[in-house]
């Protein structure tokens, strides 16, 4: 049986996905009819629940990928394809600590919070309070908010933290905040940046040369999806061709 409080995903016959926390007294209203969630409490993942109109919805345990696809966004977000590499480069693991700016819609925040676990801590900095609220709501919806400390402040004033083992900056002019970042991170800590244009990467690299940064890496990640049809296996007609350039370094004080 799926315990109440679990994250669940219900998938319609047409593939529409609904992600939520399982609460016995809740109901899901869909175009295919109503699903009282107390029915789902008596099931296991991988089974089907029937709406009051007789349509069958698959009950799945959502992965982090599913949650990221569902983030309500009002800013540009970091995509799953980039997030995977960021997590590896920053060494994100259960019980760790990391800082990020800006929070935006909370796509990266969610992934950091997921992997850092309930003994870990994400410090998320954002200067616009509407995005602090949006990020916080997106995290709350999936039960990860308690792992995040939200800092409603401009990182120009510094992070007000020291000895943090990793950091990621996703703001338009990260080169303006390198001194603040260096002050907040441990010696040797990995740091990462996402920038949509090459011009910004140039600015950042120049600033890094005179800041305490070493072991620089610049890359972009392309994912080319294929149509999963065995008899006509070929790429999809469209792909996300560009999200941003990733820059990584180590902080040497
Ligand atoms: C592209 S969004 C971040 C998206 C986020 N990483 C995500 O995955 O959803 C950039 C955010 O940085 C914030 N920002 C820009 N400059 C900032 C600064 N100096 N201090 C704090 N936040 C800043 C913006 O308000 C915006 O919300």
Residue nearest to atom 16 of ligand 1 (CA): 171
* Residue count (the chain): 253
From the options 3.65.10.10, 3.30.420.10, 3.10.330.20, 3.30.470.10, give the CATH code of 7-62.
Answer: 3.10.330.20
Give 39 Cα–ligand 1 centroid separation in angstroms. Answer: 41
Ligand 1 binding pocket (C-beta < 6 A) is: 75-78, 101-102, 104-108, 125-128, 131, 154-156, 170-171
Ligand 1 atom at minimal distance to the Cα of residue 104 = 27
Question: What CATH number was assigned to the domain covering residues 66-251?
Answer: 3.40.50.150
Residues 6+ apart with CB under 8 A from 102: 75, 125, 126, 127, 128, 131, 155, 170, 171
CB 216 within 8 A of CB 205: yes
pLDDT of res. 56: 97
Pocket test for ligand 1, best of 126, 194, 197 (most atoms within 8 A of CB): 126
Strand pairing category for 97-101 and 167-169: parallel
**C-alpha span between 96 and 91 (Å, rounded):** 9
User: Could you give the dihedral angle defined by the CA atoms of residues 29, 31, 32 and 38, in that order, rounded to the nearest 10 degrees?
Assistant: -10
Pocket test for ligand 1, best of 71, 74, 75 (most atoms within 8 A of CB): 75
pLDDT of res. 161: 98
Closest CA to 112 of 155, 73, 150: 150
CB 123 within 8 A of CB 108: no
CB 140 within 8 A of CB 148: no
- pLDDT digit string, tens, across residues 28-69: 999 999 999 999 999 999 999 999 999 999 999 999 999 999
pLDDT of res. 108: 98
Burial label for 97, CB within 10 Å (0-12, 13-18, 19+), is middle
pLDDT of res. 253: 86
- Secondary structure (DSSP) of the chain: -PPTT-EEEEE-TT--EEEEE--TT-EEEETTEEEEGGGGGGS-TT-EEE-TTS-EEEEEPPPHHHHHHT---SS----HHHHHHHHHHHT--TT-EEEEE--TTSHHHHHHHHHH-TT-EEEEEES-HHHHHHHHHHHHHTT-GGGEEEEES-GGG--S---BS-EEE-SS-GGGGHHHHHHHBPTT-EEEEEESSHHHHHHHHHHHHHTTEEEEEEE------EE--GGG-EE-S-------EEEEEEE--
Domain boundaries, the chain: 7-62, 66-251
Low-confidence ranges of the chain (pLDDT < 70): none
Whole-model pTM: value is: 0.95
Ligand 1 atom at minimal distance to the Cα of residue 156 = 19
pLDDT of res. 215: 97
pLDDT of res. 15: 94
The answer to whether 7-62 and 66-251 have equal CATH topology is no
pLDDT of res. 79: 97
For 101, phi then psi, to 5°, come to -150, 145
């Amino acid at each position: 049986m799926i315990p109440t409080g679990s994250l669940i995903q219900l998938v319609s016959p047409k593939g529409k996905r609904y992600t939520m926390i399982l609460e016995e007294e809740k109901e899901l209203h869909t175009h295919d009819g109503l699903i009282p969630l107390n029915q789902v409490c008596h099931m296991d993942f991988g089974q089907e629940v029937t709406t009051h109109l007789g349509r069958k919805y698959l009950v799945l345990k959502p992965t982090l990928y599913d949650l990221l696809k569902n983030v309500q966004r009002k800013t540009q977000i970091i995509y799953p394809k980039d997030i995977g590499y960021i997590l590896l480069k920053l060494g994100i693991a259960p019980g760790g600590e990391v800082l990020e700016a800006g929070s935006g819609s909370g796509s990266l925040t969610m992934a950091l919070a997921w992997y850092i676990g309930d003994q870990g801590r994400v410090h998320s900095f954002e200067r616009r309070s509407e995005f602090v609220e949006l990020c916080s709501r997106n995290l709350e919806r999936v039960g990860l908010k308690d792992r995040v400390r939200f800092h409603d402040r401009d990182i120009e004033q510094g992070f007000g933290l020291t000895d943090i083992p990793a950091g990621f900056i996703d703001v338009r002019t990260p080169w303006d905040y390198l001194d603040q970042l260096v002050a907040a991170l441990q010696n040797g800590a990995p740091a990462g940046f996402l920038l949509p244009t090459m011009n910004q990467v140039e600015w950042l690299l120049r600033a890094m040369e005179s800041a305490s940064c070493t072991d620089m890496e610049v890359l972009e990640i392309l994912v080319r999806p294929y149509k999963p049809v065995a008899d006509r296996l070929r790429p999809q007609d469209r792909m996300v061709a560009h999200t941003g350039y990733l820059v990584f370094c180590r902080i040497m004080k």
